[in-house]
Amino acid sequence: MNNQPGSNQIQLITYIDRLSGGDISELHQLLQQELSGLFDGVHLLPFYTPIDGEDAGFDPTDHTAVDSRLGNWQDIASLASDYPVMADMIVNHVSAQSAQFQDVLAKGEASPYWPLFLTRDKVFGQAPEPAELAAIYRPRPTSCFTELTLADGRSLPFWTTFTANQIDIDVQSEPGQAYLDAILQRFTENGVKLIRLDAAGYAIKKAGTSCFMLPETFEFIAGLSSKAKALGMQCLVEIHGYHQTQIDIAKRCDWVYDFALPPLVLHTLFSRDAKALKHWLDIAPRNCITVLDTHDGIGIVDAADHQGQPGLLTDPELDALVEQIHHNSGGSSKLATGNAANNVDLYQVNCSFYDALAQHDEHYLLARAIQLFCPGISQIYYGGLLAAENDVELLKRTQVGRDINRPYYTAEKVRQALQKPVVKALCALIKLRRSLQAFDGDFSQQLSDGQYQLNWQHQGHSASLRIRLADLSAELVWQHSGEVQQQCPLSSLLAD
């Protein structure tokens, strides 16, 4: 199985201010100094105006403007000259506080932006069938429509897939296409090389369907990816859903997330059974970005069954997985998940990955080693890099479940975290992965007699991760072409 060219890379995914404690230039400095030698690129989570909206930047009032508290587009371009930058393109919605939507509220159909936004009536007509509304796939338990009052006193049901402050746009309308084109243009003018298409699976709405990942959605993603490619950019499609959907999407775009990996790695470590993980890596797309944690929660739906089709894990296995996470975190993840938190997601558990593994350094390092040995580009979340614990105090202040895994660091706190043995070991592991040419080649895996092995080979270079499942001990074995084979227990990195 050939890995994608150039995929022997490690990317950082981070909020600018929550890692640097400051602005874009301070993050740039951090990457060049304390984090030097670790990353080939950086995914900057939303840096648009404002970064502190209802959904941590995913509800921009102006998607083409950098929040002035972080800097400006010149700062982005400067960072992009040293590190390939990925930026979020929020294709499904815009803030209710945006100038465009405020104009709609003031002028109704007379606003030039009226066609930009979706109301329920635009899709279903004046008298929608209850069965059609019930068929809509919902990522959250609340209604996907919000009644909002116009200046003339009329109340209309606007489409709000995520929150009442995130108004869905009509991406098929002329203003919708112009809106997205303006974002693409701003990106390409400032050196952005990769685009993450946020919430793209919900972008197309059609009566009589689930309004999620329709054939028309695939066409929309392909069309947007083509526009980006023509401007010198590639697209990563962000979709949480059934694993076969990811496989299908991967055939039509540059990159997809491997969101099934986090629950499968946890299941492997909890159950000491790698069969489900091995099966997934046998069939998983190779043009993927691998993650264990992100700014969102640990995905569950990505490993679950769907409409009678078997998932990567069974329902009892997923139930046991979720309960083990809650147990390992001392119950703190339960405070941030499901009905206990605002903006709840039906398909995620909100918890830092370090806490999901009970802050067990060896198990955490093994989980990262598995990720780094999987095919694709490895993306390390800033909280994961620093082995962040659940930020219960931040959760209490904001009452936003996902904030439990979105901590704020000052520069001094970053320096302190980098001294933790598990963080030092992870940094050493990242540097080793980046140094090995074997990862430019072919991937294989074996599972037998209680040992699970992940292997890479390329022109005489080799690298293997050998895991003994009974006690979760592991060793790294590698060889540069023409040189003597080297090996070390994974745990020895913690002692260095």
Angle at 85 between CA 82 and CA 90, to 5 degrees: 160
Beta bridge pairs of residue 445? 454
pLDDT at 34: 96
pLDDT digits (tens, 9 = 90+) for 10-22: 999 999 999 999 9
**Mean pLDDT along residues 152-175:** 95
- Interatomic CA distance for residues 463 and 453, integer angstroms: 10
At residue 7, the pLDDT reads 60
Q: Are 328 and 264 in contact (CB under 8 A)?
A: no
352-409: pLDDT as tens digits: 999 999 999 999 999 999 999 999 999 999 999 999 999 999 999 999 899 999 999 9
The whole-angstrom distance between residue 121's C-alpha and the CA centroid of its chain comes to 32
The predicted pLDDT at position 239 comes to: 87
Contact 387, 422 (CB under 8 A): yes
475 with 490: CB under 8 angstroms? yes
> For position 342, what pLDDT does the model report?
45
Rounded CA separation 392/123 (Å): 41
- What integer pLDDT is reported at residue 340 of this predicted model? 55
Q: What is the rounded average pLDDT of the residues 295-323?
A: 93
- pLDDT band, very low/low/confident/very high, at 496 (cuts 50, 70, 90): low
Could you tell me the sign of the dihedral formed by the alpha carbons of 213, 214, 215, 218, in that order?
negative
Query: Of 8 and 133, which is predicted with more confidence?
Result: 133
Using DSSP, state whether 300 is helix, strand or coil: coil
**Per-residue pLDDT tens over the stretch 431-451:** 999 999 999 999 999 999 999
Higher pLDDT, 239 or 291: 291
Average pLDDT, the chain: 93
Based on the residue annotation, tell me whether 198 is a catalytic residue of this protein: yes
Give tens-digit pLDDT for 323-354.
Answer: 999 999 999 999 998 765 543 455 789 999 99
Question: Comparing 49-63, 275-289, 442-456, which segment has the lowest mean pLDDT?
Answer: 49-63
Which helix (H) or strand (E) is 383 found in, with range?
A: helix 382-385
Is residue 483 flagged as an active site residue?
no
Catalytic: which of 23, 59, 67, 198? 198
Q: What percent of the chain has pLDDT over 90?
A: 86
| Confidence tier at 97 by pLDDT (50, 70, 90) | very high
Q: How many CA atoms are closer than 13 Å to the CA of 79, on its beta-carbon side?
A: 28
- Using the predicted structure, report yes or no on whether residue 139 has a pLDDT greater than 90: no
Q: What does the radius of gyration of the chain's CA atoms come to, in whole angstroms?
A: 22
In the predicted model, what is the mean pLDDT of residues 92-107?
97
The helix/strand/coil state of 479 is strand
How many Cβ atoms are within 10 Å of 412's Cβ, its own excluded?
9
Catalytic residue among 88, 238, 293, 362: 238
Return the bridge partners of 145, or none: 159
- So what's the pLDDT on residue 339? 62
**d(Cα 175, Cα 94) in Å, to the nearest integer?**
13
List C-alpha distances in Å: 194 to 11, 80, 179, 239. Answer: 11, 11, 19, 16
pTM, rounded to two decimals: 0.94
- Once rounded to an integer, what is the mean pLDDT over residues 72-97? 97
Are β-strands 255-258 and 288-290 bridged in parallel, bridged antiparallel, or unpaired? parallel
CA distance 158 to 143: 11
Chain-centre distance of CA 17, in angstroms?
18
Q: Are strands 451-458 and 194-198 parallel, antiparallel or unpaired?
A: unpaired
pLDDT tens-place string over residues 405-432: 999 999 999 999 999 999 999 999 999 9
User: For 235-259, what is each residue's pLDDT tens digit?
Assistant: 999 988 899 989 998 988 899 999 9
pLDDT value of position 346: 53
Q: How confident is the model at residue 284 (pLDDT cuts 50, 70, 90)?
A: very high
The enclosing H or E element of 195 equals: strand 194-198
Report, as an integer, the average pLDDT of 278-303: 95
